Structure 1
Amino acid sequence: MNPPPSARRERVGDKVLSNRTIALCAAILVVSAAVACWLLLRLYGHGTDADKARLDGIRTVGTIVLGAGGAVALLLAARKQQTAEHDLATKRHDLALREQANEDARHDAAERRITDLYLKAVEQLGSEKAPVRLAGLHALDRLAQDNPAQRQRIVDVITAYLRMPYALPEPAESAARERYWVQLQEREVRLTAQRILTDHLDPLSGAGHRFWPDIDLDLSGALLIDFTLRGCQINNGRFVGAEFAGRTLMLGVSFVGDTHFGDATFSGDAWFVEATFNGNARFDRAEFAGDARFDEATFVGATAFRDTTFLGEARFDDATLSGNVVFSGATFTGNASFRRASFTDAWLPGVEFSRDAYFDRATFAGDAWFSRVAFSSYTTFDLAVFTGDIRFSGATLDGVAYQPPQLQGDDVLFDQ
């Protein structure tokens, strides 16, 4: 609020009075100095030695007085400077507090806006109408793209939606046709949700600005339709009990953390060509109805295919399995190929190869256990290299004890 005019006039008057006082004091000082000089010359200006001595003494005292006055003036100036700096620091502090308060207000407003948009999008995702659910997915996509801090939470919402129970649509008679169309619309919604995830998990999508790094993906128990990941990067991936309908492609995918496909089912072909599993990779009790291809895949951590079923062709050609690899109890109904695969420790006790098994040029840097393995058809280890212990105890070829030809190792056991 501005001060009234009278107050402003009083302030101006005070300032003018102060200036006049200063000028008057200065004039008095000048006159006093002139009178003092005249008196000194009047009294001691005769030129005698005594007068000269008195004038020198007075000059010395005057110099001391002037020096003391200068020191006092410097002290007052320093005090004034200190006061000005303190006032400036106070103003800066007050300004910083106001700016922080404004920033907090803007942040709170942005957080409220994000929360409102998030709740509205989630509400749309729960609608009974498929177009509204699609709008909710796209709203979540935009919200996550503009707010990196919200991405993991929004990915969790989308994956939770995909984990909800769903059955693939099947053509039906007129009595069930409405339900068929509802399922067909839901299929489109789910495909959109999958595309949102796969698009943002690709480091090269949209020149990289649409890539969401450090994302955990939990699709346990989800029904995924023609699920495709190309060159994507996933922090931790959980697909336990997931059902992969149609063809599954995870080409060149990098799994940074642990990956779990335990009890997952693949109804069509599943390709993990050039995939990289930097953490532990578990496919225990998974079922591959079509061809399973892990060509040139890299397994860095522990890898487990315990009791896994391969109904189609299984290929691990040129794969690198650096960690401890376990295939115990696995079943290979189609041909199994491990050509040029590189193993460290390979454990295959109780594995059943119903068709041909190829280990040509494979290398086993550590122990290789083929105990109780059933080779039912053509089997070859041509030019395979075994560095550690090799055990084929109890292994059979068409029911007969298996005797691998020309294998070299520190400890080769063929006894039943």
Structure 2
Amino acid sequence: MAEGFRPREKQPSRPTSGTDPAQRTLSNRTIAICAGVLLLFAIAACWLLLLLYGRGTDADKARLEGVRTVGTIVLGAGGAVALLLAARRQQTAEQDLANKRHDVMLREQANHDARHDAAERRISDLYLKAVEQLGADKAPVRLAGLYALDRLAQDNPPQRQTIINVISAYLRMPYELPDKSPDFDAEKEIHDEYKSDIQEREVRVTAQRILTDHLDPNYRDGSRFWPDIDLDLSGALLIDVMFRDCRLNNARFSNARFCGDTLLMGIQFDGDTRFDGVTFTGDTWFSEAQFTGNVRFDQATFEAGVRFDKSSFKGTATFRAATFLREARFKSTTFTGSVVFSRATFTNSANFEDATFFEDAYLPGVTFAHRSYFTEASFAGDAWFNQVTFSSYTTFDGATFDGDVRFTDSTLDGVPFIPAQLRPYKSVDDE
């Protein structure tokens, strides 16, 4: 064989028609020919049977009956085969339909996943951009970041708790209220610093307002209410707080500072609530507040007046070592759980008129440096006033005690306390 010569490869044969033979369907002409052949075969078979067994004898009749029986069996078997083939075709068609439906579901799921991923990427991009704005140097940019987070959470409920956590973390960042405005002759750096502090104050007040708007079920007919939100503002500096009629879940305010007046009237605290170590610099209102879980005011300081009038404590309430520098009012307050005021100090008047204590009330080591009123108070459980310091004007008029009452080592204006000195007051044990 000569070098470089290669035998010519045999080319695969191609069908003469434009379609694949395996996919060809029977034409009308082919069907007509097959039907004619079957008809001729049937006529020939009938003629042959008549020729052979058509003489009418008993033997011929028996043979014809046998042929008929065999034919019937053959036709029955053919019908059964046809039914099996039809069932197989039906099963194949149903399987094909199921496969098509499965393919459609897979495509729809893929499209849904793609849309979901795109939405998640969009939300992540908006979130990251808003957080970057919140960390900007200029106050207007930080305000824009707050409003962007607000809008993002309103449109995406699953992101609300995360965004609340971000805003809360911002409020927990170190900050001090600016002093009075500097003199005109002060250095430019002082004026710029004061201006920056004032702008940051506005940003923080806006962040607080966003929280209150979304925690109030009645705000804008509840369309902007975010339910079941946990709030952690531990160590935050809060300015002129107004959480009226809001609902908070597992609220944490430990070691926070409430500057200015604080309005928490009608608020509902769900879950455990903590105000331990808190400082209230202005007047504070907890009137008609509801504490559904345990609440702690341990070592809290109330520098101005505080009112818990008509508020309710359903869990355990503790005010250990709390300091009340001005008037403290618990008028018509309901303590469903036990209450502890151990080592609390009431520098000004303490008013517990019409208060109801359904469980034990522990007030060991409490100091009432001014007037204290327990008029018409009701103690359903034990009431321990051990080592309590009472002032000269203390009244238990109309108070009722259903449990164990103790005034061990208590004093009244520096002398040993004698319960009879507080007469008239009504004790159940005296009846």
TM-score where L is the length of structure 1: 0.93
- Cα distance in 1, alignment partners of residues 429 and 99 from structure 2: 81
* Misfit runs of 4+, over 6 Å: none
Q: Give CA deviations for 1:236-280 in whole Å, capped at 9, x if unaligned.
A: 111111110111011111111111111111011111111111111
Q: Give CA deviations for 1:350-390 in whole Å, capped at 9, x if unaligned.
A: 11111211111211111100111111132111221211100
- Cα distance in 1, alignment partners of residues 344 and 28 from structure 2: 102
| 1:368–1:388 Cα contact (<8 Å) kept | yes
Once superposed, what is the RMSD of the aligned Cα atoms?
A: 2.0
Aligned to 1:319: 333
| Equivalence map 1:229-248=2 (5 Å) | 229-248=243-262
- Cα distance in 1, alignment partners of residues 16 and 288 from structure 2: 83
Amino acid at match of 1:199: D
Aligned to 1:113: 122
Aligned to 1:3: none
Q: Give CA deviations for 1:18-42 in whole Å, capped at 9, x if unaligned.
A: 6554443333222212221222223
Using the TM superposition, name which of 12-21 and 381-390 deviates more.
Answer: 12-21
Aligned to 1:403: 418
| 1:368–1:389 Cα contact (<8 Å) kept | yes
Out of 132, 148, 164, the position equivalent to 2:141 is 132
Q: Give CA deviations for 1:79-125 in whole Å, capped at 9, x if unaligned.
A: 11111111111111111111111111111111111111111001000
| 1:389–1:410 Cα contact (<8 Å) kept | no
1:374 is aligned to 2:389: yes
Aligned to 2:93: 84
1:215 is aligned to 2:236: no
- Cα distance in 2, alignment partners of residues 162 and 275 from structure 1: 24
Aligned to 1:290: 304
Q: Give CA deviations for 1:302-357 in whole Å, capped at 9, x if unaligned.
A: 11101101111111111111112100011111211111111111000011111211
Aligned to 1:255: 269
- Cα distance in 1, alignment partners of residues 333 and 42 from structure 2: 105
- Cα distance in 1, alignment partners of residues 389 and 164 from structure 2: 44
- Cα distance in 1, alignment partners of residues 36 and 242 from structure 2: 95
1:44 is aligned to 2:53: yes
Out of 278, 284, 302, the position equivalent to 2:316 is 302
- Cα distance in 1, alignment partners of residues 225 and 17 from structure 2: 62
| Equivalence map 1:15-414=2 (5 Å) | 15-17=24-26, 20-170=29-179, 171-173=181-183, 174-175=186-187, 176-343=190-357, 344-404=359-419, 405=423, 406-408=425-427
- Cα distance in 2, alignment partners of residues 410 and 57 from structure 1: 117
- Cα distance in 2, alignment partners of residues 22 and 385 from structure 1: 109
Amino acid at match of 2:406: R
Amino acid at match of 2:249: N
Aligned to 1:10: 19
CA-CA distance at 1:13 after TM superposition: 10
| 2:397–2:426 Cα contact (<8 Å) kept | no
CA-CA distance at 1:12 after TM superposition: 9.1
Amino acid at match of 1:172: P
Identical residues among aligned pairs (%): 65
Equivalent residue of 1:236, what SS? strand
| 1:297–1:318 Cα contact (<8 Å) kept | yes
Equivalent residue of 1:187, what SS? helix
- Cα distance in 1, alignment partners of residues 258 and 64 from structure 2: 114
Residues 48 and 7 of structure 1, relative CA distance in 2, 3 Å threshold: closer
Q: Give CA deviations for 1:163-193 in whole Å, capped at 9, x if unaligned.
A: 1111112211232222111111111111110
- Cα distance in 2, alignment partners of residues 216 and 7 from structure 1: 78
- Cα distance in 1, alignment partners of residues 203 and 38 from structure 2: 94
- Cα distance in 2, alignment partners of residues 372 and 80 from structure 1: 96
Aligned to 1:414: none
- Cα distance in 2, alignment partners of residues 342 and 20 from structure 1: 103
| 1:340–1:362 Cα contact (<8 Å) kept | yes
Amino acid at match of 1:388: G
CA-CA distance at 1:410 after TM superposition: 6.0
- Cα distance in 2, alignment partners of residues 318 and 243 from structure 1: 27
- Cα distance in 1, alignment partners of residues 291 and 43 from structure 2: 99
Residues 13 and 409 of structure 1, relative CA distance in 2, 3 Å threshold: closer
- Cα distance in 2, alignment partners of residues 396 and 8 from structure 1: 119
- Cα distance in 1, alignment partners of residues 330 and 39 from structure 2: 107
- Cα distance in 1, alignment partners of residues 242 and 367 from structure 2: 30
Structure with max Cα Rg: 2
TM-score where L is the length of structure 2: 0.90
Equivalent residue of 1:224, what SS? strand
- Cα distance in 1, alignment partners of residues 415 and 17 from structure 2: 115
Equivalent residue of 2:336, what SS? strand
Aligned pair count reads 407
Residues 75 and 410 of structure 1, relative CA distance in 2, 3 Å threshold: farther
Gaps (5+ residues) in structure 2? 1-14
Residues 8 and 153 of structure 1, relative CA distance in 2, 3 Å threshold: farther
Gaps (5+ residues) in structure 1? 1-5, 412-416
| 2:399–2:427 Cα contact (<8 Å) kept | no
- Cα distance in 1, alignment partners of residues 336 and 409 from structure 2: 26
| 1:353–1:377 Cα contact (<8 Å) kept | no
- Cα distance in 2, alignment partners of residues 358 and 19 from structure 1: 110
- Cα distance in 1, alignment partners of residues 340 and 79 from structure 2: 92
- Cα distance in 1, alignment partners of residues 232 and 16 from structure 2: 72
| 1:357–1:377 Cα contact (<8 Å) kept | no
